[in-house]
Amino acid sequence: MSNPHEPRDVFVAQLEDRLRADLSRRDLAAPAPRWLPRSTRGVVLATAAVVIVSMAVGGGAVSAAYQAQQSAQRDTLVTTLEQRLALSRTRLDLVRQRHDEMERRVSIGVEDPATVADARLNVTEAEVNVKLIEVDIAEVRATGREPLLSVSAPLVNGRDFVSERWQIEAQLPDVGREVAKMAVDIWKRRFDVGLAKNIDVEKAGARLIEMESAQQLLQQKLAIRQAFLKRTLTAAVADLRVMEVEAEQRRTILSRRIEFSRRQLQDLEVRTQIGIVLPVEVAEAKLRLQELELARSKADYDLALIRKQLGK
């Protein structure tokens, strides 16, 4: 028999059902936390806001890190260039002193005037080097990167650093041309009085022609640069055009040097036959000629390749 005071199984099951229902009603009636959105749309908006804020914070951190890195790179480049500038200025002071000493020695008749001309060219070269480094420093400070030297480089805050460099570089062949003309005149006078050979006059003349070619090259490059800035040439075509005129000049100079080397070799062979020049000097002249001919073959190949890319 069952105990009369023991609850029946049906009663126990009904009581459990009521308790579960009561607990469920309490859970549903409990207010949601204040920070939790009360709708699906609210959840989506809240999540989006968190993502946007996180992206903004992350983007700001990345931007700050990039700017710090760029600033450090700029400072390193400027420091390196300033060290080069200091050395170049020291060298400029030295070559100026040497030039002044040469002038003094020429004035008292103990030095050849040709040496003063060479010393003047050395001064110009040192001055050009100083100016080029100063332009590089200005570009690095403006951009935070290494200078761009190609004809298709963009302007920097409206400033054309590429053309500035080429205009500075043009000072060297300008002075070089004057010095070469002076040398030609000196060697001609010496030849007229029997103190020089015709080959010496030709050598001075070849140097003059090379300086004139360098002047023409820089003018051509400046014209291509202007065409690019006016958008009559694309960047790719402008770069190829500069490569073309440089290859043409290199080939022309090599051809002239080959002609001069051949005449010089003939002169040495004649002088060797009469015992004035050692055979080893002839061998060295032949080797120089072969090297020049090989260099011209390479220039021919480069020029043909460039012109093929230009569709010529």
Which of 88, 118, 89 lies closest to 103, judged by CA?
118
pLDDT at 50: 52
pLDDT at 70: 75
pLDDT at 36: 46
pLDDT tens-digit series, residues 47-102: 555 556 555 555 555 555 556 667 888 999 999 999 999 999 999 999 999 999 99
> In angstroms, how far is CA 103 from the centroid of its own chain?
37
Q: What are the C-alpha distances in Å from 32 to residues 22, 29, 36, 39, 45? A: 19, 9, 7, 11, 17
Which of 255, 277, 259 lies closest to 268, judged by CA?
277
**pTM score, whole prediction:** 0.74
- Side chain identity, residue 252: T
Q: Where are the domains of the chain?
A: 74-147
DSSP state of 197: -
What's the CA gap between 53 and 32, in Å, rounded? 25
Q: What are the C-alpha distances in Å from 56 to residues 48, 65, 167, 231? A: 12, 14, 46, 39
**Cβ neighbours of residue 207 closer than 8 Å, sequence gap 6 or more:** 180, 183
Residue range 74-147, CATH number: 1.20.58
Query: Given 3-state DSSP classes, what are the helix, strand and coil percentages for the chain, each rounded to the nearest 5?
Result: 80, 0, 20
Which regions of the chain are under pLDDT 50? 1-6, 12, 27-30, 32-36
DSSP state of 2: -
Angle at 202 between CA 197 and CA 206, to 5 degrees: 155
**DSSP per residue, 214-225:** HHHHHHHHHHHH
Question: How many CB atoms sit inside 10 A of residue 242's CB?
Answer: 20
